[in-house]
Structure 1
Amino acid sequence: MAKATTKTASKSTAGSTPKTLIIAEKPSVASDIAKALGGFTKYDDYFENEQYVVSSAVGHLLEIAAPEEYDVKRGKWSFANLPVVPPHFDLRPIVKTESRLKVLQKLIKRKDIAALVNACDAGREGELIFRLIAQHAKASQPIKRLWLQSMTPNAIREGFSALRSDADMQPLADAARCRSEADWLVGINGTRAMTAFNSKSGGFFLTTVGRVQTPTLSIVVEREELIRKFISKDYWEVKADFLASAGVYEGRWFDPKFKKDAAEPDLRENRLWSEAAANSIVAACRNKKASVREEAKPATQLAPQLFDLTSLQREANARFGFSAKNTLGLAQALYERHKVLTYPRTDSRALPEDYLDTVKQTVENLAANSNEYRPHANAILKGDGKDSAAKTKGYGWIKPNKRIFDNSKISDHFAIIPTLESPKSLSEPEQKLYDLVVRRFLAVFFPAAEFRVTTRITECSGHHFKTEGRVLVHPGWLAVYGRSNQADDELVAVQENETVQSDTIEALALKTKPPARYSEATLLSAMESAGKWVDDDDMREAMAEKGLGTPATRAAIIEGLLAEKYMVREARELIPTAKAFQLMTLLRGLDVEELTRPDLTGNWENKLSLIEQGKMKRDAFMQEIAQMTQRIVKRAKEYDSDTIPGDYATLTTPCPHCKGSVKENYRRFACEKCGFTISKTPGGRAFEYDEVETLLRDKTIGPLQGFRSKIGRPFAAIIQLTEIPEDDKDYPNAGFKLEFDFGNTEDDDAEAIDFTGRTALGVCPKCSGAVYEDGMRYVCERNTGPSKTCDFKTGKVVLQQEISTEQVQKLLTSGKTDLLTNFKSNRTGRGFKAYLALGEGGKIGFEFEAKAPKAGAAPPAKKRSGASAAAKAEVKPKRVSKAKSPAKT
């Protein structure tokens, strides 16, 4: 292929010779196709030669939407507008990638484009991406399908010699559209129906549900329910030290007749359920002679398989604490920007069978360019001499192996491995992730690790004690991770027929522990293996390769649950919130539990598979989905009880009015004796138990975030219980009512606040007065009352970022806060990081983190004094702050 040159497209590009437009899913694939076919000139957004034009999408460019007359805006959702089952679906461009869509539209409409080739990824989503583009552009050309599972030049050329017909791909296209439209129907109708139900008593309580999101949440909630209901049991273990001629070793008592019982997971071979039984063993064996027998067996351990995205996310979470979202972002950067990893959004852990040469070149590249990986890469290339044929070919340990090279285990993409590019200027997190992938890639070609595992049974006074040891005989693949021949847990030697004696022996008092909460690593595993939750054999088989979500979407599902406050992340644990429990109670009470179980996905996958095989019609499937959405809406709409059956709590803090017991129902916390009652979801935000206990005890709590106005906008507030007169007809015998304190009162006639006894946070930058905390704000002492002389104040919450007293102290003493990471734009909803900084005249504004200049780039221009327009717009939210300008830098 002649060296391609980059040009800007002109009118002369579109000639009269008929050409075929090839549309790939990603720019990198378009480039690979152009290189494999040869003879192309590169233009800004496409490649062209005498026969073909090659361009690409960047993933999904369009999303389905209801026709405009069905699109009811949020905040006006009600049962009157449900269910939403439009007669057809419109398409709308995804704003972020609209420019790429316009490029493809323009190419499709070129007069010389006589045919189209769908070169998007070989799978259901790749088919959908192309079909929606063709539909939106009203393409009339004949279509062929390129089906690739390997991206080597030979594989690409062979794929073009065996293009599939459009008719052959129609069943897959039908299945793709069904999946997309069904997800839309269930998500829209389920979310609007549950939101309408929860908002019946006023306000706007957004309650999102979805085919993948809700069963994932259900897994987390069910685990938390087990933890809450768990009752710890006391048990005992007996530990003894035994004296042998070569030294001392430890043994633990066990019952050799023990058999596992799945119904009683707490039962173990080494557990005793009575202190007396444990003490009797101690008494019987103390300072007694004992006989020994042991068995040593060889054991081997293969290297873990190559990474797919989910296993990479699990490993990175377990090793480094990276979230699934962060791991995906890092892997995407290593793929797109640095070009050192292959495509990361894959569910395969195998490589194509024609990839041996590519793997060899990759290992050779690591041997030549990395001191760290060179010894391991060279070991692979040299092999061990046992396979002379492979060694003669120069492959060493790289040889056909179905565990590594297997086309049948590849769908859209193969496993994540390093490329032939050498990394440059990686950040620390990027380097960590790259190292994980490279070491896993190298390890998989190494021989198995070899161990000698010894099990020693010591019998003393009729009781048995077990001791286990493991010695690494040959490290094999563990050498890649720095392991050498050494004892992991080598036992003190005991001679044949040697009699030992117990030295110290004790009974250990222990307690059973509840199941562990999910981390992102374990939740990703549960999502991946969700088929085991499905009872029906056909559905379980359909889900065997799918699970809940896809590798590319699981991180987004978890982040979505966190964003909607269904879960919170504490350290590495994922903990469901009160909102999550309330949703599960609602779905169970309405008898729409299909939304909470993986069975729904299993059922869909089974039927989508039948559609792909031509054994089920698209219309029949969509009719079933429409009926299901009708049923979900009907059950929510017709449920006429005030509460929902559920497992409700009695609070420990008594009623603030009469000291009676406060009990929970579906919608409220209410006193059993008097008329005191408060909503569980004021402002569309569900109370956690500890929060409502604090409110009942202290009569105030906050600031709290996550409230929503009637039109769905988020806000923060302090909640107070305010005393009300006993004769108030609106609150008979209630004593207190719940009120929001927004901290934005501007009453010039109000009395000045007395700050006596409060701790000042610092000196006001405007008037040198003292700044104090007051409700939802931080305010200068001279900015209260009718005679106020200063206007300095700032909110405790700025654009959904809480500003702590410590940060205000830093702002007042050093001129700016630490870098704060949870701001969220009111206009776009996107999060951003910034400092709050003092500017001229004591005004508060944003200062953004300086970006490192790119290599060879000119130094950045000096910043203008004062805020950018964007900063000005973002830093003056209502009820928060009048600050507009960032400090000078």
Structure 2
Amino acid sequence: MSKKLIITEKPSVATDLARALGGFTRHEDYYENDDYVLASAIGHLLELACPEEYEVKRGKWSFAHLPVIPPHFALQPITKTEPRLKLLVRLIKRKDVASLVNACDAGREGELIFNYIVQHAASRKPVERLWLQSMTPQAIRDGFLRLRRGSEMQGLADAALCRSESDWLVGINGTRAMTAFNSKTGGFHLTTVGRVQTPTLALMVEREDRIRKFKPRTYWELEAAFACAAGEYHGKWFDEKFAGKDDDEHARADRLWDEEKARSLQQKCRGQEGEVSEEAKPSTQISPLLYDLTSLQREANSRFGFSAKATLALAQALYEKHKVLTYPRTESRALPEDYLQTVISTLGMLTGEGLGKGHDEAALVRYAPFAQQILDRRWVVPNKRVFNNAKVSDHFAIIPTLQAPRHLSEPETKLYDMVVKRFLAVFFPPAEYLITTRITRVLDEPFKTEGKVLVNAGWLAVYGREAQAGDEGNLVAVQPGERVLATDVLLAAQRTKPPPRYSEATLLSAMEGAGKSMDDEELRAAMAGRGLGTPATRAQIIENLLSEQYLHREGRELMPTAKAFSLMTLLNGLGIPELTAPELTGEWEWKLARMERGELSRDEFMKEIATMTQDIVARAKSYDSDTIPGDFGELAARCPKCDGRIKETYKRFQCQSCDYGLWKIVAGRQFEAAEIEELLSRRKIGPLSGFRNKMGRPFNAVVQLNDEHAPEFDFGQSSASGDGSADEVDFSLSESLGACPKCGARVFEHGLSYVCEKSVGAARNCDFRSGTIILQQTIDHAQMKKLLSSGRTDLLRDFVSARTRRKFAAFLVRAADGKVGFEFEPRPAKGATRKTTAKAPAE
């Protein structure tokens, strides 16, 4: 009797199918009954490989072997899952297996996984396709009653193959071409590029470039304290004529750019009476949608600092090991329309009723009241916001399963808690607020006060006080017609801030939304809902950029390295926008969608990819490193060897008359032209921050030219003689910055520190020392003079916390014992009181 072989993408799906169809006997790694053999892959079992005749060992990558466009693509088994591949091939070749059923996930990747297995097994047996969007037993049984013919899926199969092969062609050829280019001058400089990886990096380099070029501007804000019969409240001045259409991205209705005008308003309004008008409006806020992988990674990074990779690993463990979450690698935030009864059953599990021993009762106690409330009030109803087949792609949203949690680790518990609360909240009614806007007019100058009162918690009740902590209480009441008095008007000087660096949370958002600003409507539509990469691949893309040293992780911030800037300079100079702009992904997705519909042939698409690949290699071949176009110029400083002109190129600052040159990137830091100008002119620069050692750790250093005019690091350390005494330091040509706060002697700059003249040399008897760079904030001579003379610097805004890696503003202050510490910026409190934090050491 002939049988059909069903192949699923994951073991858990094979188990679900066996349970739904019934009658199966389990063998070691597969199931079997009278009609079917049922087995699973473990995700991808095969990957594309370069055909042996086209393979070139790493050390021999050169343009002579490029481009690599093989007439066919070879497949190679993934080593760790090769035993499963051998099992599937053996089952496919069984004589009693007459046909195959592709039960891999409903989408492009599922089609690719199955077709690679069939191709590797060289099978010509007929194929049918199971297409499921829901994994309920009834949906599975119905799916087997309407299996699709394999020929119906040809468009999807072609699109899947084309996406895989085109990624390979661009990645292999782009990486080898850029590596060959950067290795022309010697050594092996691996320079990886990719269709998704490189546009993602371009987003970060563009943001970092904006941060570096940002010039802060000062603005002023006015906040008045108003006294009324019932107490005191505060209001902020604003421009009623501000329309929000200003070209200045930093313009706001409550910002004043003219200090004189701000002070004039302050004097005008202080001590004057005001008239009050207010309007109260009800407002509602619906719960967030259910999680897909990207939104889960984004929030876990923001709340707990979990990396995207860590979040995926935790979610995968909760799905595979603990079986308490549904499949996590999803880009859908809705559930199938036939999932109402499953949701009701899941809520029943969360109430804890009917569960046997062994589950984590404590974990369910906090969910039970909310789950019971949803069930009692029958809030699970057909709702397109939650149950919508049109918004379910390969997989549905991440929700808890019918399995109660047990033995979860602390990080697993945190992630499970996020998913369960989101699942409960989506069925609760909206939160209801009363928002009051009060306008106080003082001599026709408007001041705005806003109050927000939570009237009905709705879904916020699921999150308890934590989610409501930011809500403001009732405003102090003002009677109709009552006049209030502006007892004080505070003027605060603020400075505009550059855009923040990307965290993993914000980078995931940027990748998800990439391409939405495209001018081409069709490409924009193709990118809709996709962005750069997929939810399943974005975490690995970020990790690849980190491992390839294109990014450094500083706390929760991601910073592009000099290598990243160098790659963007190279690609832009070569004129290869295909590798830096999301338009490439958009165009591919548009064409692949046409292919799925049968409107574009596979051969036509691959010919275009081959042409683009050849063009990328040809452009790289046509330039030398010193001819790459860019925003390069000639330095004013002359060559220290021959007095020749020095020009900036892609890799160096190069003399045009002799062989003298300086590399642009040293110890992971890229020199700016102005810094090289200073180094050549003064033969010394710094201290500079941003260098990194071989372990990837940052360090600061002075850079100076030695007798051969070569740059070297000077860490400001005195040499030591054999008897332990230090060399004397000659300060006769140095400028004294003031008196030492410990002993009264003179203070000078020495290496990376400001030191007392009696703290160096053999006869040192003072220990005063303060860094020229403190927490990445440069302390220049003017600020050190202020610190020594008055005991306090100006407010310095570029300190970076060693713990959180966040910027903060502070004064450096001198304590009575001469030690240098921080005093933090005063802030007006919610009652118009001002407080200053205690001093903290800054050494």
Q: Which one-letter code corresponds to 1:104 in the other structure?
A: L
2:558 alignment counterpart: 574
1:705 alignment counterpart: 694
How far does residue 669 in structure 1 lie from its aligned partner after superposition? 3.6
1:620 alignment counterpart: 604
How far does residue 141 in structure 1 lie from its aligned partner after superposition? 1.1
Written as runs of structure 1 = structure 2, the 5 A alignment for 1:203-352 is 203-261=187-245, 263-352=247-336
Tell me the secondary structure at the aligned position of residue 302 of structure 2: helix
User: Does the 8 Å CA contact 1:380/1:446 hold for their aligned counterparts?
Assistant: no
Written as runs of structure 1 = structure 2, the 5 A alignment for 1:446-595 is 446-483=428-465, 488-595=472-579
How far does residue 672 in structure 1 lie from its aligned partner after superposition? 8.8
User: Does the 8 Å CA contact 2:351/2:371 hold for their aligned counterparts?
Assistant: no
How far does residue 681 in structure 1 lie from its aligned partner after superposition? 5.5
Quickly say closer, same or farther: Cα 1:288–1:102, change in 2 above 3 A: same
2:731 alignment counterpart: none
Question: Which of residues 118, 140, 145 is equivalent to 2:124?
Answer: 140
User: Does the 8 Å CA contact 1:261/1:267 hold for their aligned counterparts?
Assistant: no
User: Does the 8 Å CA contact 1:381/1:397 hold for their aligned counterparts?
Assistant: no
Tell me the secondary structure at the aligned position of residue 76 of structure 2: strand
User: Does the 8 Å CA contact 2:230/2:478 hold for their aligned counterparts?
Assistant: yes
Quickly say closer, same or farther: Cα 1:757–1:698, change in 2 above 3 A: farther
- The number of residues matched between the two structures is 700
For 2:263 and 2:128, locate their aligned partners in 1 and report how far apart those are by CA, in whole Å.
78
User: Does the 8 Å CA contact 1:18/1:112 hold for their aligned counterparts?
Assistant: yes
For 1:755 and 1:347, locate their aligned partners in 2 and report how far apart those are by CA, in whole Å.
67
Tell me the secondary structure at the aligned position of residue 458 of structure 1: strand
Are 2:712 and 1:735 equivalent residues in the alignment?
no
Q: Which one-letter code corresponds to 2:53 in the other structure?
A: E
Deviation track 1:435-457 (CA, whole Å, cap 9, x = no partner) reads 11111111111111000001110
For 1:658 and 1:488, locate their aligned partners in 2 and report how far apart those are by CA, in whole Å.
70
Are 2:75 and 1:91 equivalent residues in the alignment?
yes
Quickly say closer, same or farther: Cα 1:130–1:395, change in 2 above 3 A: farther
User: Does the 8 Å CA contact 2:460/2:468 hold for their aligned counterparts?
Assistant: no
Q: Which one-letter code corresponds to 2:288 in the other structure?
A: P
How far does residue 535 in structure 1 lie from its aligned partner after superposition? 2.0
Deviation track 1:461-501 (CA, whole Å, cap 9, x = no partner) reads 11000011100001011111113999623211111111111
Quickly say closer, same or farther: Cα 1:703–1:509, change in 2 above 3 A: closer
Question: Which of residues 388, 396, 399 is equivalent to 2:381?
Answer: 399
User: Does the 8 Å CA contact 1:20/1:53 hold for their aligned counterparts?
Assistant: yes
Q: Which one-letter code corresponds to 1:236 in the other structure?
A: W
2:411 alignment counterpart: 429
Written as runs of structure 1 = structure 2, the 5 A alignment for 1:48-59 is 48-59=32-43
Q: Which one-letter code corresponds to 1:543 in the other structure?
A: M
1:122 alignment counterpart: 106
Deviation track 1:371-428 (CA, whole Å, cap 9, x = no partner) reads 5554654444445xxxxxxx7xx67211111111111101111111111112222111
For 2:657 and 2:346, locate their aligned partners in 1 and report how far apart those are by CA, in whole Å.
75
For 2:366 and 2:704, locate their aligned partners in 1 and report how far apart those are by CA, in whole Å.
69
For 1:698 and 1:281, locate their aligned partners in 2 and report how far apart those are by CA, in whole Å.
44
For 2:123 and 2:724, locate their aligned partners in 1 and report how far apart those are by CA, in whole Å.
75
For 2:259 and 2:691, locate their aligned partners in 1 and report how far apart those are by CA, in whole Å.
48
Q: Which one-letter code corresponds to 2:619 in the other structure?
A: R
Tell me the secondary structure at the aligned position of residue 200 of structure 2: helix
How far does residue 145 in structure 1 lie from its aligned partner after superposition? 0.3
Quickly say closer, same or farther: Cα 1:738–1:141, change in 2 above 3 A: farther
User: Does the 8 Å CA contact 1:656/1:697 hold for their aligned counterparts?
Assistant: no
Written as runs of structure 1 = structure 2, the 5 A alignment for 1:405-420 is 405-420=387-402
2:825 alignment counterpart: none
How far does residue 647 in structure 1 lie from its aligned partner after superposition? 3.9
Are 2:14 and 1:25 equivalent residues in the alignment?
no
1:199 alignment counterpart: 183
1:37 alignment counterpart: 21
1:102 alignment counterpart: 86
Q: Which one-letter code corresponds to 2:333 in the other structure?
A: R
For 1:137 and 1:639, locate their aligned partners in 2 and report how far apart those are by CA, in whole Å.
45
User: Does the 8 Å CA contact 2:684/2:705 hold for their aligned counterparts?
Assistant: no
Structure 2: gaps spanning 5 or more residues: 356-360, 714-719, 727-843
How far does residue 263 in structure 1 lie from its aligned partner after superposition? 2.7
Deviation track 1:488-547 (CA, whole Å, cap 9, x = no partner) reads 232111111111110110221111111111110000001001121422100100110211
Aligned-residue sequence identity (percent) comes to: 60
Tell me the secondary structure at the aligned position of residue 91 of structure 1: strand
2:590 alignment counterpart: 606
How far does residue 629 in structure 1 lie from its aligned partner after superposition? 0.4
For 2:110 and 2:369, locate their aligned partners in 1 and report how far apart those are by CA, in whole Å.
38
Quickly say closer, same or farther: Cα 1:461–1:400, change in 2 above 3 A: same
Q: Which one-letter code corresponds to 2:484 in the other structure?
A: V
1:113 alignment counterpart: 97
1:438 alignment counterpart: 420
For 1:673 and 1:251, locate their aligned partners in 2 and report how far apart those are by CA, in whole Å.
66
For 2:499 and 2:638, locate their aligned partners in 1 and report how far apart those are by CA, in whole Å.
31
How far does residue 723 in structure 1 lie from its aligned partner after superposition? 6.0
For 1:473 and 1:650, locate their aligned partners in 2 and report how far apart those are by CA, in whole Å.
66
Quickly say closer, same or farther: Cα 1:41–1:593, change in 2 above 3 A: same
For 2:383 and 2:173, locate their aligned partners in 1 and report how far apart those are by CA, in whole Å.
48
Tell me the secondary structure at the aligned position of residue 104 of structure 1: helix
Tell me the secondary structure at the aligned position of residue 532 of structure 1: coil
Q: Which one-letter code corresponds to 2:109 in the other structure?
A: E
Q: CA RMSD in A?
A: 3.1
How far does residue 200 in structure 1 lie from its aligned partner after superposition? 1.1
For 1:581 and 1:323, locate their aligned partners in 2 and report how far apart those are by CA, in whole Å.
24
User: Does the 8 Å CA contact 2:626/2:649 hold for their aligned counterparts?
Assistant: no
User: Does the 8 Å CA contact 1:360/1:395 hold for their aligned counterparts?
Assistant: no
TM-score (norm 1): 0.74
Q: Which one-letter code corresponds to 1:346 in the other structure?
A: T
How far does residue 670 in structure 1 lie from its aligned partner after superposition? 4.4
For 1:372 and 1:304, locate their aligned partners in 2 and report how far apart those are by CA, in whole Å.
22
For 1:608 and 1:706, locate their aligned partners in 2 and report how far apart those are by CA, in whole Å.
43
Q: Which one-letter code corresponds to 2:569 in the other structure?
A: T
Quickly say closer, same or farther: Cα 1:439–1:485, change in 2 above 3 A: closer
Quickly say closer, same or farther: Cα 1:588–1:468, change in 2 above 3 A: same
For 1:581 and 1:592, locate their aligned partners in 2 and report how far apart those are by CA, in whole Å.
15
Deviation track 1:78-104 (CA, whole Å, cap 9, x = no partner) reads 111111111110100111211111111
For 1:232 and 1:650, locate their aligned partners in 2 and report how far apart those are by CA, in whole Å.
28
Tell me the secondary structure at the aligned position of residue 161 of structure 2: helix
For 2:429 and 2:635, locate their aligned partners in 1 and report how far apart those are by CA, in whole Å.
60
1:868 alignment counterpart: none
Question: Which of residues 626, 651, 658 is equivalent to 1:642?
Answer: 626
Q: Which one-letter code corresponds to 1:459 in the other structure?
A: R
Tell me the secondary structure at the aligned position of residue 279 of structure 2: strand
For 2:640 and 2:81, locate their aligned partners in 1 and report how far apart those are by CA, in whole Å.
55
For 1:305 and 1:148, locate their aligned partners in 2 and report how far apart those are by CA, in whole Å.
22
Are 2:144 and 1:155 equivalent residues in the alignment?
no
